[in-house]
């Protein structure tokens, strides 16, 4: 298989804007934005739509998170203060 890159790299290589990807994929703008910035992992159907919009094979796109996941201590706000 050829190059494997994140959505943002494929967009830059194809010189496509986020608005063009939204129009071509049929996904919501906020979903596309979150995927492009690595804050959201798309469903299998969303992945297919994005790959088709970019004109690449599904296996050529990485779906990793770019934003680190922070783990919280305790049970959350509903149980009071966390340590």
Label the pairing between strands 61-62 and 5-6. parallel
Question: How much is the pLDDT for 64?
Answer: 75
CATH class for the region spanning 1-83 = mainly alpha
Tell me the average pLDDT of the chain. Answer: 84
Question: How much is the pLDDT for 80?
Answer: 58
pLDDT at 71 over 80: no
> In degrees to the nearest 10, what's the CA dihedral of 67, 68, 72, 75?
60
How many angstroms separate the CA atoms of 29 and 19, rounded?
Answer: 8
Domain ranges of the chain: 1-83
Sequence-ordered strand ranges (E) for 1-83: 5-6, 61-62
* Paired residues of 5 in beta bridges: 61
pLDDT at 12 over 60: yes
Question: How much is the pLDDT for 24?
Answer: 94
Whether the Cβ atoms of residue 61 and residue 10 lie closer than 8 Å to each other: yes
Average pLDDT over residues 26-35: 94
């Amino acid at each position: 298989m050829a190059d494997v890159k994140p959505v943002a790299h494929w967009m830059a290589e194809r010189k496509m804007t986020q608005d063009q990807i939204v129009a071509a994929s049929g996904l919501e703008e906020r979903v596309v934005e979150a995927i492009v910035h690595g804050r959201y992992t798309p469903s299998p159907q969303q992945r297919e739509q994005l790959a088709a919009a970019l004109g690449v094979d599904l296996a050529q796109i990485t779906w990793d998170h770019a934003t680190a996941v922070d783990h919280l201590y305790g049970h959350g706000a509903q149980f009071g203060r966390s340590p």
